[in-house]
Amino acid sequence: MPRKFDARTERFGHLYEDFEIGDIYIHWPGKTITEAENNHFCLMTMASSPLHVDSNFAKTEMPEGKNLVVGTYIYALLTGMSVADISGAAIASLEVRNLKHLQPFYPGDTLYGETTILSKRISQSKPDRGLVTVSTAGFNQNKTLVCTFERTFLVPIRGSN
Quote the pLDDT of residue 10. Answer: 53
- Asked if 33 and 108 count as a contact pair (C-beta separation under 8 A), the reply is yes
CB burial of 41-56 (b: ≥16 within 10 Å; e: otherwise) equals bbeeeebeeebbbbee
Backbone φ and ψ for 159, nearest 5 degrees, come out as 80, 5
pLDDT of amino acid 96 = 97
What are the chain's domains? 4-33+71-156 (3.10.129.10)
Contact 66, 130 (CB under 8 A): no
Environment class of residue 82 by beta-carbon count within 10 Å: exposed (0-12), middle (13-18) or buried (19+)?
buried
The string of pLDDT tens digits covering residues 49-94 is 999 989 999 999 998 999 999 999 999 999 999 998 899 889 999 9
pLDDT at 161: 61
**pLDDT value at 9 more than 50:** no
CA 88, 75, 105: angle at the middle one, nearest 5? 135
Rounded to two decimals, what is the model's pTM? 0.89
Calculate Rg over the CA atoms of the chain.
18
State the pLDDT at residue 2. Answer: 80
What is the mean pLDDT of the segment spanning 147-152? 98
pLDDT at 147 over 80: yes
Is residue 83 classed as helix, strand or coil in its secondary structure?
helix
Q: Which residue has better confidence, 129 or 158?
A: 129
The residue-averaged pLDDT of 128-143 equals 98
Contact 145, 119 (CB under 8 A): no
pLDDT digits (tens, 9 = 90+) for 10-55: 557 788 999 999 999 999 999 999 999 999 999 999 988 999 989 9
pLDDT of residue 7: 55
Helix (H/G/I), strand (E/B), else coil: 80 = helix
